[in-house]
Amino acid sequence: MTDLFSPARFGAIELANRVVMSSLTRNRAGAGNVPTPLTAEYYRQRATAGLILTEATPICAEGHGYPRTPGIHTPEQIAGWKQVTEAVHGAGGKIALQLWHVGRISHPDLQPGGALPVAPSAIRPAGQVFTGQAMKDFVTPRALETVEIPALVAAFARAARNAMDAGLDGVEVHAGNGYLLDQFLRSSTNHRTDAYGGSKENRARLLLEVMGAVCSEIGSERVGVRLSPVTTFNDISDATPQDTFEYVVAQLNPLKLAFLDVLQGTGGAPEEQWIPFDYDRLRARYSGNFIRNNGYDFATAQQAVTSGAADAIAFGRLLLANPDLVERFRRGAPLNAPDYERLYTGEEKGYTDYPFLPD
């Protein structure tokens, strides 16, 4: 019987088990947004997970929207990630880089030359952003020109190649959580009238072009994608999410990706407040490896895998606080609680100092 501890093959990536580390922004990069030796230690500690999905990693300077997030667009960043991959591989783990462009969820203080952030449409998100010195209101972004889109697609492909040069086992294209590709997908943030706006087919066009380019660059067997059909994070929504995302999944099937990572639920809301969405229908329409993500414990994860509802389960906070989560699951051992005060600050505190089980 296949369960959470069974090995798996996701495209070209061999997983020792079906526990996946979800992408978690930690804001610990060094100068120049370069991963540090501390970053390498953090991921090395968690290498017993079947697959690590790294923190979201900007594909270009314009893709940044938070301070101290490691990029994958300079030689120094590539070298920093190489130290991370060597540490994880040395511990027997597998690691894929999440490719990220935040779009409108940024601020001129975080953009090259103080430029406006870009988006599908010039619609200001509600809320504020931390610029490194202070919280500031989001600004109205600049709508990308149609002629700019091929360069954006090429930047995703180039970042995927950089990830391969850094020794990553694969990449996950971040098309969720209210960031740029999700902004194109959703009707609330995409009011374009060109070939990239209007119908669900047009709104999905950029994501599908990016996926095609990334797969052509490094091979689809090393490429996954993150979707979050009903999250409201970053002030985003869609008028017909079931229709939109079932279409997207149907278009992804021919690519034969390594995996699809679906974030269930509505932001950080409890399950009883989630916007209705039929994830089982999405699972039925997707022909490849399906990762479910958000709110799972051992019992619900085990049930999802053994029933075939998922091929793997992604854990965020549990793996953040329990680097040896797989072994704790095996033993039925108690779990460490996350240190929420140090999620995004504290260097090694709340990052690499969580205790392991005694041998």
Q: How far lies 301's CA from each of 284, 291, 313, 315, in Å? A: 18, 10, 6, 9
| Cβ atoms 101, 180 nearer than 8 A | yes
* pLDDT bracket for residue 271 (50, 70, 90): confident
For residue 154, the model assigns a pLDDT of 98
Which domains, and CATH codes, for the chain? 8-321 (3.20.20.70)
- The share of the chain scoring above pLDDT 70, in percent, equals 99
In a 10 Å sphere around its CB, with 0-12 CB exposed, 13-18 middle and 19+ buried, how is residue 240 labelled?
exposed
Longest pairwise C-alpha distance within the chain: 61
Question: Is residue 269 scored above 90 in pLDDT?
Answer: no
For residue 267, the model assigns a pLDDT of 67
Measure the N-to-C terminal CA separation of the chain; round to a whole number of Å: 28
C-beta neighbour count of 250 within 10 angstroms: 13
- Average pLDDT of every residue of the chain: 97
In the three-class reduction of DSSP (H, G, I as helix; E, B as strand; rest coil), residue 153 is classed as: helix
Question: Is residue 159 scored above 70 in pLDDT?
Answer: yes
For residue 132, the model assigns a pLDDT of 85
* pLDDT bracket for residue 273 (50, 70, 90): confident
Question: Is residue 268 scored above 70 in pLDDT?
Answer: no
Average pLDDT over residues 316-328: 98
Return the higher-pLDDT residue of 24 and 270.
24
Q: Which residues are catalytic?
A: 179
Out of 148-152, 270-274, 277-281, 350-354, pick the least confident: 270-274
Question: Is residue 356 scored above 80 in pLDDT?
Answer: yes
User: Is the entire prediction scored with pTM above 0.75?
Assistant: yes
* pLDDT bracket for residue 274 (50, 70, 90): confident
For residue 275, the model assigns a pLDDT of 86
